Amino acid sequence: MCGRFAITLPNDAMAQLFSARPANTLPSVPNFNVCPTNKVHVVRGGEAGRTLDPLRWGFLPHWYKTETAGPLLINARAETLAEKPAFRAACRERRCLIVATGFYEWTKSEQGTRLPWYIHRKDGAPITFAGVWQDWGAEEVRQGTCAIVTTSANRRLSAIHHRMPLILEPDDWPLWLGEAGKGAARLMQPGAEGVLDYHRVDPAVNSNRASGSDLIVPIPA
């Protein structure tokens, strides 16, 4: 799964990387502790080209009457994405890319203490999560919402967690966004083998109020 992440790439650099037209209301960067319900940077495709938009991290199905009417859907399992009522239409019609620099996962010590790890690309490039999105709410409060698609962990990450975000390489972006026709389902499997690395970080990140670049600095495991 993915419950917290970091984004440090400047907004204009993100727009250039994805050849996307940026919205004027993008979240401020850097943010080393992006939490559920925060606005995140999302790339969407369309007839007029790609856009880079701020969407709420926490998918809201159309039948939710309020933002808290049901579970907080920050992740969507690839294995059931096309079947779950909340996600099946979005799986077909509203796939997106969610941009990150790295993400956090937790293990537990023998004493039950939560130990955070920071996971990032070995080459230092941004990470691109596969996502799905949904507009939600009445016109006056309408907002875009999204969830990160997850798969079973690859061999490297399985040492710290059994799930991981579905990570897409640049050659996969057009297919996931629907720009290269059908067949996105073949991308929904564990990947990024040999691409990611991780290290222990300070437990300060256990708090959703923590901030600052110190959150991703390595500490002894």
DSSP result, 147-181: EEEEEE--TTGGGT-SEEE-B--GGGHHHHTTTT-
Q: Which of 30, 67, 45, 29 is nearest to 145 (CA)?
A: 67
Lookup result for tokens 């955070």: 116
Is the pLDDT confidence value at 104 over 80? yes
pLDDT at residue 138, rounded to an integer = 83
Listed by start position, the domains of the chain span: 5-100+124-190
pLDDT at residue 106, rounded to an integer = 96
Task: Name every residue whose Cβ is closer than 8 Å to that of residue 16 and which is 6 or more positions away in sequence.
Answer: none
Is the pLDDT confidence value at 13 over 90? yes
The mean per-residue pLDDT over the stretch 25-46 comes to: 97
Is the pLDDT confidence value at 111 over 90? no
pLDDT at residue 141, rounded to an integer = 82
pLDDT at residue 90, rounded to an integer = 98
3 state SS of 140: helix
Strands 5-7 and 196-200, sheet pairing? unpaired
The mean per-residue pLDDT over the stretch 211-215 comes to: 97
Q: How many CB atoms lie within 10 A of CB 209?
A: 7
Q: pTM of the predicted model, to two decimals?
A: 0.97
pLDDT-above-70 percentage for the chain: 100
**Does domain 5-100+124-190 bear CATH number 3.40.640.10?**
no
pLDDT at residue 32, rounded to an integer = 98
Spatial contact of 133 and 94, defined as CB atoms under 8 Å apart: yes
- For the stretch 115-143, pLDDT in tens is 999 999 999 999 999 999 999 998 778 99
pLDDT at residue 147, rounded to an integer = 98
pLDDT at residue 57, rounded to an integer = 98
Lookup result for tokens 């850097």: 30
pLDDT at residue 110, rounded to an integer = 86
Is the pLDDT confidence value at 1 over 80? no
Q: Between residues 110 and 20, which one has the greater pLDDT? A: 20
Amino acid at 203: P
